[in-house]
């Protein structure tokens, strides 16, 4: 499962606002990669049927223990419902102790701008990680 390209799930009308989420996960140990990949296959199937999911993509670097997700949602409520519903909810709880700190970034766009490019998602993730590293307590100047 190295890369699963953008899959359009429930297309929103072109002018409709959508919530985009990009994430970066890193495992503490490569011995946890097989379990992470197995759980990811269940959550990928889940997102394909999730109400409010407009589209999704995944990139896996299993030999580095690094994984990226990119998805678009009709709204934050749809994303939150997916995140807490099993199998995703179970996968989060199972893998949380095995993970280094993760990075999540959210932004809004119109559905006509989908799919979001991985260059754009990784740029935003990098900026967020750099900001968090510069101010780990989350304080603003």
- CB atoms closer than 10 angstroms to residue 50: 22
| 82 neighbors 21 (Cβ within 8 angstroms) | no
Q: Walk me through the domains of the chain, giving residue ranges and CATH numbers.
A: 3-134 (3.30.70.100)
Per-residue pLDDT tens listing for the chain (141 residues): 578 899 999 999 989 999 999 999 999 999 999 999 999 999 999 999 999 999 999 999 999 999 999 999 999 999 999 999 999 999 999 999 999 999 999 999 999 999 999 999 999 999 999 998 888 776 654
Extract the tokens encoding 115.
Answer: 């799919």
pTM check: above 0.85: yes
Q: What is the pLDDT of residue 2?
A: 73
Altogether, the residues listed in the chain come to a count of: 141
Spatial CA neighbour of 44 closest among 97, 1, 101: 1
CA dist 23 and 99 (Å) reads 13
Extract the tokens encoding 135.
Answer: 């101010």
């Amino acid at each position: 499962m190295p890369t699963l390209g953008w899959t359009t799930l429930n297309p929103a009308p072109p002018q409709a606002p959508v919530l985009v989420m990009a994430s970066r996960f890193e495992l503490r140990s490569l011995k946890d990669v097989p379990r992470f990949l197995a759980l990811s296959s269940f959550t990928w199937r889940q997102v394909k049927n999730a109400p409010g999911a407009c589209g999704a993509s995944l990139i896996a670097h299993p030999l580095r223990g690094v994984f990226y997700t990119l998805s678009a949602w009709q709204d934050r409520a749809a994303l939150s419902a997916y995140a807490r519903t099993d199998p995703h909810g179970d996968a989060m709880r199972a893998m949380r102790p095995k993970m280094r700190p993760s990075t999540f970034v959210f932004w809004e766009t119109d559905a006509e701008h989908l799919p979001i490019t991985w260059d754009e998602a990784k740029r935003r993730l990098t900026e967020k990680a750099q900001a968090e590293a510069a101010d780990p307590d989350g304080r603003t100047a």
